[in-house]
Amino acid sequence: MRFLQSSRLLTVLLAAAGAWSLTAIDWNGPWLHTGGAASFLRFLLALFPPDLSADFLLIALTASGQTLAYAVAGMTVAILIGVPLGIIASGVAFTPGSRLRRPSVAATRFLLGGMRAVHELVWAVLFVAAIGLSPLAAIFALGLPYAGILGRIYADLLQDVPPEPIAALRTTGASPLRLFSYGYWPMALPDLIGYTFYRLECAIRAAAIMSFVGIPGLGYQIQLSLHDLLFDQVWTLLLFLVAIIVAVDLWSSRIRRSLLS
């Protein structure tokens, strides 16, 4: 039983999965198709320089705005769903010994698991089929799985709050609401914000990828440029995506420092 609960089992399973995955590779076939190396070199050389024409920069800027808007809106939906579900899944909102605690935590964690089990690309295809090529398709396709991810991590972070300050508050007769408002939430907030910003970075990348199903954005423009073999335009779009991610990372770092100072 100790072995089943130890990290050795995980190490063995990961090693076995890695070894098994190697059997799926065709070691006798070529690693690159004919002309693949030349195409890849052509793609790399297109970076010097990328397409910096005024017309295409405007297209890239517009696509970046669309991608960022989808990511922010999707994360807003994810936070609105993930925060309350994460609080319930953590069990900190219940009084000790409450009969509702265990079934509520189990049911909520099951719901969160189901929401994040389906990839955002699959959600995007489903929502596009249901409501068409609408911004709502991208927003909901991001919001549902990311709500499942955020809710799970929020629950774990709330459970990891040091027990000593909570015990001190409980001795004063504080209610579960006060324990949460003055204990769990403020102590977990820096980590909650840090992880939320990290997921925002992931949402920006996911919003760009979802554009490959036809939703306007950076991914859609990258797809058009790739089809026309305009690699210099692809690099321009990729650089815009990198710039957005770096800006969000710097912003989140400043906010976390301000909370911890």
| Predicted local confidence at residue 5, as pLDDT | 55
Please check whether residue 11 lies inside any domain of the structure.
Answer: no
Q: What is the CATH number of the domain that holds 222?
A: 1.10.3720.10
Q: In whole angstroms, what is the distance from residue 112 CA to residue 161 CA? A: 21
Please check whether residue 229 lies inside any domain of the structure.
Answer: yes
**In Å, how far from its chain's centre is CA 96?**
33
Please check whether residue 37 lies inside any domain of the structure.
Answer: no
> Which has more confidence, 55 or 12?
55
pLDDT tops 90 at residue 26: no
Q: In whole angstroms, what is the distance from residue 128 CA to residue 137 CA? A: 6
Please check whether residue 178 lies inside any domain of the structure.
Answer: yes
In the structure encoding, which two tokens stand for residue 156, read together? Answer: 């774990």
pLDDT tops 90 at residue 19: no
Please check whether residue 185 lies inside any domain of the structure.
Answer: yes
Please check whether residue 3 lies inside any domain of the structure.
Answer: no
Mention every residue, 6+ apart, whose C-beta is less than 8 A from residue 238: 222
pLDDT tens column, 96-128: 667 888 888 899 999 999 999 988 888 888 888
Please check whether residue 184 lies inside any domain of the structure.
Answer: yes
| 8 Å CB contact between 123 and 140 | yes
Task: Give me the number of domains the chain comprises.
Answer: 1
pLDDT tier at 7 (50, 70, 90 boundaries)? low
Mention every residue, 6+ apart, whose C-beta is less than 8 A from residue 61: 240
> Which has more confidence, 14 or 31?
14
> Which has more confidence, 74 or 208?
74
Residue 80 Cα distances to 85, 111, 187, 238, angstroms = 9, 15, 20, 30
Q: In whole angstroms, what is the distance from residue 72 CA to residue 145 CA? A: 14
| Predicted local confidence at residue 75, as pLDDT | 94
Its domain, for residue 210, covers 51-260
pLDDT tops 80 at residue 25: no
Using alpha carbons, select from 204, 72, 216 the residue that is nearest to residue 132. 216
**What pTM did the predictor assign?**
0.81
Please check whether residue 167 lies inside any domain of the structure.
Answer: yes
- The region that residue 32 occupies, defined by phi over 0 for left and psi between -120 and 50 for alpha, beta otherwise, is beta
